[in-house]
């Protein structure tokens, strides 16, 4: 019993915060595995989008003028650029907040439902948000690069030959890189959702546990049960 108490007392976080943090990490990793790596027959927003992306590439190679396709890729790139720049602003604010951790902790401590924590625990909570948005920035910036590569490949596509099947390898290459870019953009957006769950940790670890489940539920509904997905599948 003394050994167990010693281990608990030497943990960097209280046991309830450790539980909430572990719960948060497991649900995030589990959801990514389920949606991106687990082979399920159920249609998803990303799979249907990838299917239409390949159809888009097949139509693109048939056109002499591909400015429409380049403009679509440019729009996709701008979406990633917007979130990448926004993420940098968030990271700057979080780094600045590290210098005012004690004051910020004092403000939240006045709330009746907020958990009373030490300055060290507060800094660890800020660090979690920093790590989440650093991850999001790398995902968005990599998707920007991939969308740019697809624009180059679209520009390098030859004029339509009599037999469009000659483009099969090129279509597959473009569709695969666009799928990678969409996947990275999607993972960056998920980081924003889970960032909301991490933000609730500042109030109470139990709230973080509840919000984490809520975030996964919302993501699952939108990716597997949304009306948008029904429209894509019913096409």
* pTM: predicted TM-score of the whole model, two decimal places: 0.86
Question: What is the spatial distance between Cα 156 and Cα 149, in angstroms, rounded to a whole number?
Answer: 11
pLDDT tens digits along 99-112:
766 666 665 656 56
pLDDT tens digits along 36-47:
877 667 788 888
pLDDT tens digits along 55-76:
888 888 888 788 888 888 889 9
Q: What is the CA angle 114-119-122, rounded to 5? A: 55
> What's the token pair of residue 89?
């602003």
Judged against a pLDDT cut of 80, whether residue 163 lies above it is answered with no
3-class DSSP assignment, residue 42 = coil
> Which residues make Cβ contacts (< 8 Å) with residue 189, sequence separation at least 6?
83
Angular region, 39: left φ>0, alpha ψ -120 to 50, beta rest: beta
Q: What is the CA angle 163-164-166, rounded to 5? A: 85
3-class DSSP assignment, residue 44 = coil
Extended strands (E) in the chain: none
Residue with tokens 């888009």: 56
Instruction: State the pLDDT at residue 63.
Output: 81
> What's the token pair of residue 158?
């030859």
Q: What is the CA angle 85-35-171, rounded to 5? A: 75
Does residue 21 contact residue 13 with C-beta atoms inside 8 Å?
Answer: yes
Instruction: State the pLDDT at residue 153.
Output: 87
Does residue 167 contact residue 76 with C-beta atoms inside 8 Å?
Answer: no
């Amino acid at each position: 019993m003394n050994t167990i108490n010693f281990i608990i007392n030497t943990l960097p976080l209280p046991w309830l915060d450790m539980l909430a943090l572990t719960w948060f990490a497991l649900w995030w990793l589990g959801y990514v595995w389920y949606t991106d790596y687990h082979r399920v027959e159920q249609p998803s927003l990303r799979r249907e989008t990838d299917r239409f992306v390949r159809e888009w590439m097949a139509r693109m190679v048939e056109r002499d003028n591909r400015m429409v396709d380049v403009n679509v890729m440019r729009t996709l790139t701008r979406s990633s650029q917007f979130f990448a720049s926004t993420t940098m602003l968030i990271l700057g604010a979080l780094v600045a907040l590290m210098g005012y951790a004690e004051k910020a902790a004092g403000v939240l401590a006045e709330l009746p439902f907020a958990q009373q924590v030490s300055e060290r625990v507060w800094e660890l909570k800020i660090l979690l948000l920093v790590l989440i948005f650093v991850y999001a920035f790398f995902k968005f910036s990599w998707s920007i690069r991939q969308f740019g590569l697809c624009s180059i490949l679209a520009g390098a596509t030859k004029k339509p030959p009599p037999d469009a099947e000659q483009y099969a390898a090129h279509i597959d290459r473009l569709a695969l890189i666009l799928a990678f870019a969409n996947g990275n953009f999607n993972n960056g957006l998920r980081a924003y959702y889970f960032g909301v769950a991490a933000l609730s940790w500042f109030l109470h670890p139990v709230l973080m546990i509840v919000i984490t489940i809520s975030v996964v539920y919302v993501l699952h509904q939108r990716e597997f049960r949304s009306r948008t997905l029904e429209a894509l599948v019913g096409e």
